Structure 1
Amino acid sequence: MSSSKFEEFLNKVTSKVKSKEAHSMIKKELTNHLQELSQSFQKREPSKEEADEQAIQEMGNPFTIGENLNRLHKPKMDWVLVVLFIIIAAISFLPLVGGIPGLGFSGFHFIELQAIWLILAVLVIIGFLFFDYQKLKNLWIYFYGTGLLLLLYTYSFGNMINGATRSISIGGFPFDVTITLFLFFLAWAGIFNKIKEFNSWKKYMLLFFLFWTPILIYMMLPHFWLSIIYFLCILTMFAFSHAPKKLAMKLLATNIAAGLIIVITMIITSRGTFFFTRLLAFINPDTDPYGDGYMYMMIRDLLSQAGWFGKGLYNDINNESLPAAHTDFVFPYLVYSLGWAFGIVLCLILLLFISRIASNAFKTKDQFGRLLVIGGATLFTVPACWNILMGLGIFPIIGASLPFISYGGDIFYAAILGLILNVYRRKDIVEPTIVKLE
């Protein structure tokens, strides 16, 4: 600090700012203004002390300045996003009203369980909302390392569900492999926040290795769905990472080539496998209407009967006609039950939810926060779009749930939403790290 008078002035200003998190940023900004004013006054004033005093007087009443800054620099909640979340969470109860076909329990039983899951989700959101997310940006190596170790442990000792290794148990506590996706998401936000430091061919190769290793392990589980989400999430974050053009072009070309090699290899080696037959069934379900093509035929038939206002929540759907009507196929179930009008409204609500998240990314001046929100928006967009398009028979059937609507735990999405709200909450109290806003 150039002057004790400056320090006294700044303390008076910040005494009126309730958010202590914003104090350092405010002091830094005002100090620069005071120093600039002092330097200009030193050309006319006989001493530096008098120039400093003149600079302070020029700034005005410190308490008034503090009150004005308090209105600008305070935590803010995105209530629009919160309301949209509440609406979506409320919709998640609709598929459970008539009970879950084939499981023999009443709808009220599953509504109770869903309520418990949502309460846990809200607690997770709150937990991720009220801490300094910037403390995470230098921990990327720990997030990545933990995610990689969990993936390898899952591959070696995980439990098989529907032909894929999906869960592990550590110390008696079950963990779904999806947790690794969250850890990699945090890790890559930290990596891309420092992308300009990767300026040599050795570091290029390190990025290449870090990017593809989780994808290969996901495919070995096999868990193709997580590899797809991971690929698209990291790619989207990289696009907004402000990477130097030369680095971006090199990494883009290298990864496209690697991706093509992997896809071609998968197609060649998967002939006759479960994956290949499912892919053929998607392309032409009529060739196997009682096997792998059955679900595509059934979805097509149910949607053709839905009409604008549906058949009602207490309808004739059973476990044979639409398995997983409350999870993977919740969208066609809701369309069949409540009609295409409701389906369109639901799509619009989800579009507003995702658009709101995406727009929030550009309301923060912190690069790490922006990357978190962009990655989070992708982690919501990909499953939501895939689930809906899968439910319409446009995309291949895969284990893609509809965020906050499909029955069961949404802790993964709750953690992401908590971080997104956290970034928005702190957007006016963090120091800018983005020089030019898009």
Structure 2
Amino acid sequence: MNTDDYLNALTDQIRYKKARSTVAEEIRIHIEDQTETFLHEGMDEENAEKMAVQEMGDPIETGIALDRIHRPRMAWGMIGLVALLSITGLILQYLVQLDFSKAQMSGIQTAADRISYLFPVDIQKSIFIVILGLAMMVFVCYADYSRIGLWAKEIMIFLFLGILIWKQLAGNTINGALNWVNFGPVSLNISMLLFLFVPLYGAALYSYRGKGYRGMIYGLMWMFPPVWIALLIRSILTVMLLFITFMVVLTIAVLRGWFQAARKRTVGIMWFIVLMLPICMYFLVNARAAVYQVERIQMYFNYLSRLFGGANTDSGNGPYYLLEAVHQMVMKSQLVGGGQMSEGAASVMQQSNYYMLAYTLSFYGILAAAVLFSAIIFVFCRFLRISLRQKNQLGMIMGTACSTLFILQLILYFINNLGIMPTETNIPFLSYAGTGAVITYILIGILLSICRYQNILPVSPPSKALGIRGKVRV
């Protein structure tokens, strides 16, 4: 039996077709190495190849053994934890609604009123959003993420033009914000839609491996489409999240040697420029901003000075009254158990998507909040660790991009829920604000897809010229 016959018999035992080319290539390398050894020992080429093939063992048994390894494996532990945290988030949303509605209990007379009280419309919407999000997560998980990565740049262009045109034709302003578009009876948040660019950017950056500083410049240019849309809708927070995530991804690519650049020096220059941007923005705002904008910034710094100086921050008015109410909730929290729905807490809970951690701190104690937030942090740190360890470089960069975005959101959410900075960030499992929740589950689906295919796809996935499926028959 020669090498080709052996490989065909072996790969016929592997049920997952996309793994066959990877396995065949690995086995071929082993056979060629052993053949080379026998040739050095004085064998002729034909016998050396036959002996090398024989040493690989029975192709049927070997193929069956490899089939157990090289097939998709669902990360059931991570899926279970995601489902558990989703249910926990729904329960907290429900409890918030009940606590917020207790003041209206005396006015409930009819059975219909009681049903409306016990099952608020907002909770019904949240349940629907979670079910839809989980369904999208499973769909994306079963899809091969390398198919997305293969057409990342084309998808980015389509999204960029689609959002711009959609915004022009069906744009909507809600509460003074310009970042909404209508989709039938539903309004979608553009800021949340822009997060779909994050894994796509990682895949686009992957396509420039080995192209030196020119590849880095192209990578910087692909940051522009989503960041520009975020600037158009005047969402500075979205600009910051996208830009920092993209810079982290680009940094990892440089450190992995994708661009044959001086790694430490290049990364140092990149982040020096990034750190200088806030300073430049500060002076620009002071020089060009309107008087009320400068006064608002000054009021925030005054608030911080009172907060960290130990002074009472409960002014009851001003642009940062919500932060002051959050801070008071946190300061009055206990280790276990909590307090009552005060007037300040009621104001905070009207925007419960942004302040579920503060609610948990105030009503269930520091210990409950620490367990909940630690579990969410664990999920995405685990995803980041899995991503960074991927042999497949496309999966590594796409997974790292998604994980980085989530971790940045967690940091901003934590700061917001301590009453330090008004970030008003949505995070997974605690925020069910429609578009953001569904986008979150889609990105988690990509992370689960990377976990699912980590033992299958090769280090370098095939290009468009070769297609997704490699040919095994020789």
Give the TM interval when normalised to the shorter protein.
Answer: 0.7 to 0.9
CA contact (8 A) 1:299 1:392 kept: yes
Pick one of 27, 31, 40 that aligns with 1:30: 27
Pick one of 172, 187, 190 that aligns with 1:177: 190
Residue correspondence of structure 1 range 210-289 to structure 2 within 5 A: 210-212=222-224, 214-241=226-253, 242=256, 243=258, 244-246=260-262, 248-249=266-267, 251-252=270-271, 260-274=279-293, 276-285=294-303, 286=313, 289=316
| Whole-angstrom CA distance in 2 between matches of 1:179 and 1:305 | 33
Aligned CA RMSD, in angstroms, stands at: 3.0
Q: Quick check: 300-309 or 203-212, which moved more?
A: 203-212
Deviations 1:318-366 (A, max 9, x none): 7753243421111111211111111111121122112211111133201
Q: Quick check: 86-95 or 206-215, which moved more?
A: 206-215
Q: 1:272 offset after TM fit, Å? A: 2.8
CA contact (8 A) 1:168 1:177 kept: yes
| Whole-angstrom CA distance in 2 between matches of 1:88 and 1:112 | 18
Q: Which amino acid aligns with 2:195?
A: F
Residue number in structure 1 paired with 2:161: 149
Q: Which amino acid aligns with 1:196?
A: R
Compared CA separation, residues 209 and 287, structure 1 to 2 (3 A):
farther
Pick one of 129, 138, 146 that aligns with 1:126: 138
| Whole-angstrom CA distance in 1 between matches of 2:251 and 2:141 | 26
Structure 2 residue 99 is the aligned partner of structure 1 residue 94:
no
Compared CA separation, residues 297 and 42, structure 1 to 2 (3 A):
closer
Q: Quick check: 187-196 or 318-327, which moved more?
A: 318-327
Q: 1:218 offset after TM fit, Å? A: 1.6
Q: Which amino acid aligns with 2:390?
A: T
Q: 1:419 offset after TM fit, Å? A: 0.4
* 3-state secondary structure, aligned to 1:310: coil
Q: Which amino acid aligns with 1:269?
A: R
Q: 1:24 offset after TM fit, Å? A: 0.7
* 3-state secondary structure, aligned to 1:160: strand
Q: Which amino acid aligns with 1:293?
A: Y
Pick one of 430, 435, 438 that aligns with 2:457: 430
* 3-state secondary structure, aligned to 2:291: coil
Q: Which amino acid aligns with 2:317?
A: Y
| Whole-angstrom CA distance in 1 between matches of 2:342 and 2:206 | 52
Structure 2 residue 393 is the aligned partner of structure 1 residue 375:
no
Compared CA separation, residues 143 and 195, structure 1 to 2 (3 A):
same
Point out where structure 1 has 5 or more consecutive residues left out of the alignment: none
| Whole-angstrom CA distance in 2 between matches of 1:381 and 1:107 | 34
* 3-state secondary structure, aligned to 1:240: helix
| Whole-angstrom CA distance in 1 between matches of 2:186 and 2:314 | 44
Pick one of 355, 365, 386 that aligns with 2:412: 386
Deviations 1:82-118 (A, max 9, x none): 2221221122122322526479852523333222111
Residue number in structure 2 paired with 1:188: 201
Q: Which amino acid aligns with 1:338?
A: Y
| Whole-angstrom CA distance in 1 between matches of 2:360 and 2:426 | 14
Q: Which amino acid aligns with 1:283?
A: F
Compared CA separation, residues 369 and 401, structure 1 to 2 (3 A):
same
Residue number in structure 2 paired with 1:397: 422
| Whole-angstrom CA distance in 2 between matches of 1:340 and 1:180 | 33
Deviations 1:382-432 (A, max 9, x none): 2222112211112x2133123121233311110110000100110000112
CA contact (8 A) 1:323 1:329 kept: yes
Residue number in structure 2 paired with 1:160: 173
Compared CA separation, residues 81 and 56, structure 1 to 2 (3 A):
same
Q: Which amino acid aligns with 1:302?
A: M
Q: Quick check: 137-146 or 396-405, which moved more?
A: 137-146
Residue correspondence of structure 1 range 290-309 to structure 2 within 5 A: 290-309=317-336
Structure 2 residue 458 is the aligned partner of structure 1 residue 421:
no
Pick one of 49, 73, 97 that aligns with 1:52: 49
| Whole-angstrom CA distance in 1 between matches of 2:172 and 2:285 | 24
Structure 2 residue 49 is the aligned partner of structure 1 residue 39:
no
CA contact (8 A) 2:387 2:395 kept: yes
Q: Quick check: 280-289 or 401-410, which moved more?
A: 280-289
Q: Which amino acid aligns with 2:10?
A: V
Number of equivalent positions: 427
Residue number in structure 2 paired with 1:79: 76
Pick one of 123, 146, 151 that aligns with 1:139: 151
| Whole-angstrom CA distance in 2 between matches of 1:273 and 1:323 | 28
Pick one of 199, 206, 211 that aligns with 2:212: 199
Identity level (%): 18
Compared CA separation, residues 81 and 95, structure 1 to 2 (3 A):
same
| Whole-angstrom CA distance in 2 between matches of 1:70 and 1:280 | 64
CA contact (8 A) 1:97 1:111 kept: no
CA contact (8 A) 1:306 1:340 kept: yes
CA contact (8 A) 2:167 2:180 kept: no
* 3-state secondary structure, aligned to 1:284: helix
Residue number in structure 2 paired with 1:412: 439
CA contact (8 A) 1:300 1:392 kept: yes
Compared CA separation, residues 273 and 416, structure 1 to 2 (3 A):
farther
| Whole-angstrom CA distance in 2 between matches of 1:114 and 1:180 | 18
Q: Quick check: 54-63 or 204-213, which moved more?
A: 204-213
Q: Quick check: 58-67 or 12-21, which moved more?
A: 12-21
Q: Which amino acid aligns with 1:59?
A: M
| Whole-angstrom CA distance in 2 between matches of 1:162 and 1:281 | 22
Compared CA separation, residues 70 and 207, structure 1 to 2 (3 A):
closer
* 3-state secondary structure, aligned to 1:137: helix
Q: 1:145 offset after TM fit, Å? A: 1.6
| Whole-angstrom CA distance in 1 between matches of 2:295 and 2:393 | 44
Compared CA separation, residues 266 and 141, structure 1 to 2 (3 A):
farther
Residue number in structure 2 paired with 1:116: 128
| Whole-angstrom CA distance in 2 between matches of 1:401 and 1:290 | 25
Point out where structure 2 has 5 or more consecutive residues left out of the alignment: 105-115, 304-312, 462-474
Compared CA separation, residues 300 and 327, structure 1 to 2 (3 A):
same
Compared CA separation, residues 107 and 371, structure 1 to 2 (3 A):
farther
CA contact (8 A) 2:133 2:438 kept: yes
Q: Quick check: 405-414 or 96-105, which moved more?
A: 96-105
